[in-house]
Amino acid sequence: MKVGVIGVGRFGKHHVRVWKEVPNVDLIGIYDIDVSRAINIAQKYGTKWFDSLDALLDNVEAVSIASSTPSHYPIAKRALSKGIHTFVEKPLAQSLEEVDDLIQLARSKTLVLQVGHIERFNPAIIALEELLREPIYIEAYRSALRAVNEISAPLVLDLMVHDIDIVLKFVKSEIEQINATGLSIFTPEEYDLVNARIEFKNGVVANLTASRVVPETIRRIIFFEKDRYFFVDYKAHTAVLYYRGQENNGYFSIKGREIETIPMEPLHQELESFTESVIKGKPPVIDPMEVRKSFEVAYRVLKSLHLPYADTHLRR
């Protein structure tokens, strides 16, 4: 499969590295609006850089798009229109209207459209698929320091959407209500800290917090069930089960046991999954309609924050 990478910045460069390792793939080249960056990455990984987007698209069967958020929709539409299978880093687009347009375009041309919800491929999350029973409360915290010039999407779409996607994967219920609060600490006109409380009709509650002003990168989620809970460290790819131990003189202990996981790099698994879908004609592991649902919930969080951005972009 002939592949190209569009956007080789902070995360896109990892796409280049991983594509060089995925079986049955020939990395044809890369494109980036920053020519010097494109040349440097191309030289580092032994591939070709293209001086225009169309020049790259004319030479590949599939692309991964890791450019800035505002460019996702126009580039993905261009690629799909040319009959190219498309992997797009989240968020897929900037409005539900755009999301629906891309999903419909991919369907009409029988093309694979996959979105980068990388935590679906985290070994700890994969391990929980067979272990979680009925979560009753979910607590997530995610932080990553971002320079102002690196911010191209609201915090909810940049970070929190990962946890929204995981919550929706495990909670099979409609949402009753969403309440969110946010703080602008360093970034004018943008929230640097957001907390969202999502209440489901089946009684499950998810409390999600995202921040891009904390120096330490923290990515964790806790699933509470009756008599036990699972603590997941996304970054370390670990999951620990905590449960009630034996009672002694009116006191009980809390025991912990690390869950066995299969070591793997999530991005490698994600791109290999995309490759398999293209080569074998299989639906992507993450259905585009699941992506749409996560996107819609993310915008409901933004709307709860009373941001004009959400009113403009949450369209059906």
Q: What is the pLDDT of residues 275-297, one digit of tens each?
A: 999 999 999 999 999 999 999 99
pLDDT digits 0-9 by tens, 226-272: 999 999 999 999 999 999 877 777 678 888 999 999 999 999 999 99
What kind of fold does domain 120-264 have according to CATH? Dihydrodipicolinate Reductase; domain 2 (3.30.360)
Secondary structure (DSSP) of 173-227: S-EEEEEEEEE-SSSTTS-SEEEEEEEETTS-EEEEEEESS-SS-EEEEEEEETT
Find, among 91, 26, 100, 23, the residue nearest to 59 by Cα: 26
HSE at residue 257, side-chain half, CA atoms within 13 A, is: 7
Is 120-264 the same fold as 2-116? no
Write down the domain spans for the chain: 2-116, 120-264
pLDDT digits 0-9 by tens, 174-191: 999 999 999 988 877 789
pTM of the model: 0.92
User: What distance, in Å, lies between the first and last C-alpha atoms of the chain?
Assistant: 35
CATH 3.40.50.720 fits 2-116, yes or no: yes
Mean per-residue pLDDT for 74-90? 98
pLDDT at 188 (0 to 100): 76
3-state secondary structure of 262: coil
Contacts of 246 (CB under 8 A, 6+ apart): 252, 253
Distance CA 248, CA 171 (A): 35
pLDDT digits 0-9 by tens, 136-166: 999 999 998 765 555 657 899 999 999 999 9
Mean pLDDT of the chain: 93
